[in-house]
A and B are shown apart, each in its own frame.
Chain A
């Protein structure tokens, strides 16, 4: 069964979530980000080439122009192959484990598989935005570290916090330390809290 829904990420960009239920013991979730937009590509390329042309008129050396083309091509290839992630997939298989795949715009895929032997712990954390750089996270603060409640309790807490924070966001003035909405991140802890088998 396939199911598609659209959400938005923390910066406001559009995301598409695709759910596939292969069998009662196997499910896949696929999040796709928006593709590389033609507008941003054109803007960057024209800026670089205009700058190169400006340099060319100053120093009269055509090597500058070829170098600019080379750099643009290499930069684009490197960006597509190493930076731009198009899709992230989470595959859960009962009694085997969880597999996470990121596929880049150039087609490269990097996969991590975490076995079911390792315990999976859910935690609720507060992500603090950096006051200087609005798109960066400056701190991750986990809550309920000693109590370690289960997912149902965490969902309850999360929903209530979201209601209150929604009220706080309505008046648009906000102090410097911008507190971000708490997010449940099903996070897998491997090293310290590993418990084999049962």
Chain B
């Protein structure tokens, strides 16, 4: 196999010295991590490497020599470098050499053992692959080459292929801690040899985050303890909480905040990303909420909103009344059963009248209520949207009631019709055996059954029409609420930190690598540049999407149509409580 030497681009301008890194025999590749400069004492170098090996669990060793000829050829250096192969024995021994002013390198890899002629070394063909050490160190491969539970112990052997290069560089952070300003026994050249990178703001934030996290974590635990108090568990409060989407959203946010401010550090990169994504999502939410708050509280918009609310409710009620009058007449030219029509129509009209009275009773308090609800926007835009969705649900409660009445009536009618239809044909539903059996009825049973069947059949169009109209209205309200919930879900689950990272630092999220062939010259070894291939935006969103609370309705269109036809009630949102039992 061709021998691949992975050489960091930062060391290409370094002075002559020893190459230090890891040798991967399965792929015949040598990953160079740093260059040790003269002067050095071989025993100290060996001690240093043994220390590094123990700390980082990576098999670091001296791989060969690096020769950078700045002046005229130095023969002494050449001989000296060749003598080093006897002190630090390594199979194969690499010798990289760069001439002054030339872009082409020369490379030799000699093996003493396993060569065909004993006493003379055999040479392997070499290929040089340049890589950016900083980017490879900071990047994360997707899918991860090593699973989190394999991190300890001899995990270095687990990574296969190019993932081994990434793994080696990532685990050798100990090697990169000493820079050239240190007074140590060994002088190294690597990506941090000009000084370890650090930022004052980051250090301050790390120092301050400890006490702040503790404080906020205790506050949040207090809030959760209060909310779990027995007072809130008295019926019917849990029932109301489960129906309001605001409570779900607040609970979700509380969980997220508890996770963000928990004093434990995140163990693996995916947990860190999740924390970061949650943090950015909460910040964006609060920022959007504050924008909404400032917009609402300026220029007297709250009064306008409150003034518009009651007339809107009145208008809706008026339209419903018109609709009922139309149904009580001859809707779309259909002839209704007068008596049933009048009964149903009057019942619903009275309902609307009650509703309007309640709204008018509440109208003096509406402005205060809207003002306080507007304040909730500082908790986040999602909370405001959830409150909006709940207000819509409350204001259209009468439509929900009408839908339930119409559905129940229609359902009863359908049940009655199906059972009487069976009687018509001389069959019966056997409850024990859960199937249809034949049955012999008496004459009077048949007579009454047929009579009822006829009555129900002729009353069917009226009931069906009322059911249809109110179901359509209910579906309209559900659609509006659904759109609001979709927006809330989007804000909740979009991984903004990961997307920002992909935009600004694409090498951090790596899908793989790509190679570019550099200038070639005949007779010289092949030179390649290895770059990081970033993950596509779609995969970023798919991998780092945050979990959502609740879920979209799980029934398919077919089952929905079936439920509508038989008059079964549709519950659009499955709340968390349903999933927990």
Contacts and interface: CB of A to CB of B under 8 A. Distances in A.
Interface of A: 22-23, 25-26, 28, 91, 93-96, 99, 101, 111-113, 115-117, 196-197
12 contacts: A91-B515, A93-B526, A93-B528, A95-B1, A95-B4, A96-B129, A113-B512, A113-B513, A113-B514, A113-B515, A113-B533, A196-B160
B125 interface: yes
Contacts of B27: 95
Given A116-B161, A117-B161, 14 more contacts: A23-B526, A25-B526, A91-B517, A93-B515, A95-B1, A95-B2, A95-B4, A96-B4, A96-B528, A111-B514, A111-B533, A113-B513, A113-B515, A197-B26
Q: Nearest 9 CB-CB pairs, A to B? A: A111-B514, A23-B526, A115-B161, A95-B2, A95-B1, A117-B161, A22-B520, A113-B512, A22-B517
A95 B517 CA distance: 15
Nearest to B125: A25
B517 A28 contact: yes
A96 B520 contact: no
Contact of B162 (A28, A101, A111, A115): A115
Nearest to A118: B161
Interface in B21-76: 26-28
B248 to A, nearest CB: 38
Contacts of B517: 22, 26, 28, 91
B276 interface: no
Contacts of A197: 26
Interface string B509-542: 0001111010010000010100001000000000
A93 B518 CA distance: 13
Interface residues of B, number: 21
Nearest to A28: B517
Nearest to B536: A110
B127 interface: yes
B515 A22 contact: no
Contacts of B129: 96
Residue in B28, B160, B526 whose Cβ sees the most chain A Cβ within 10 Å? B526
Contact of A117 (B160, B512, B526): B160
Given A23-B520, A23-B526, A25-B2, A99 B514 contact: yes
Contacts of A112: 512, 533
Contacts of A91: 515, 517
A88 B272 CA distance: 38
Contacts of A95: 1-2, 4, 27-28, 127
Interface in B160-174: 160-162
The SS class assigned to the A binding surface is strand
A23 B2 CA distance: 12
B109 to A, nearest CB: 14
Contacts of A111: 514, 533
A28 B526 CA distance: 13
Contacts of B127: 25-26, 93-96
A117 B164 CA distance: 13
Contacts of B1: 95
A94 B528 CA distance: 12
Contacts of A115: 161-162
Contacts of A22: 517, 520, 526
A113 to B, nearest CB: 5
Contacts of A101: 514
Contacts of B161: 115-117
A113 B517 CA distance: 14
A196 B27 CA distance: 11
Nearest to A110: B536
A96 B26 contact: no
Contact of B526 (A26, A99, A113, A196): A26
Given A23-B520, A115-B161, A94 B2 contact: yes
Interface in B97-135: 125, 127, 129
Nearest to B525: A23
A117 B159 CA distance: 12
A96 B512 contact: no
A197 B160 CA distance: 9
B516 to A, nearest CB: 9
A94 B126 CA distance: 11
Nearest to A20: B517
Residue in A23, A117, A196 whose Cβ sees the most chain B Cβ within 10 Å? A23
Contact of A99 (B2, B28, B125, B515): B515
Given A25-B2, A115-B161, A115-B162, A96 B526 contact: no
A99 B160 CA distance: 18
A137 B67 CA distance: 57
A99 B129 CA distance: 15
A75 to B, nearest CB: 21
Contacts of B125: 25
Interface string B356-399: 00000000000000000000000000000000000000000000
B330 to A, nearest CB: 38
B501 to A, nearest CB: 20
Interface string B186-227: 000000000000000000000000000000000000000000
A48 B74 CA distance: 72
A111 B536 CA distance: 11
A71 B428 CA distance: 65
A126 B559 CA distance: 42
A196 B145 CA distance: 14
Contacts of B160: 117, 196
A25 B27 CA distance: 16
B146 to A, nearest CB: 15
Residue in A22, A112, A196 whose Cβ sees the most chain B Cβ within 10 Å? A22
B578 to A, nearest CB: 37
Contacts of B533: 111-113
A89 to B, nearest CB: 11
A173 B1 CA distance: 53
Nearest to B513: A113
A25 B28 CA distance: 15
A22 B161 CA distance: 23
Nearest to A27: B517
A90 to B, nearest CB: 12
Nearest to B533: A111
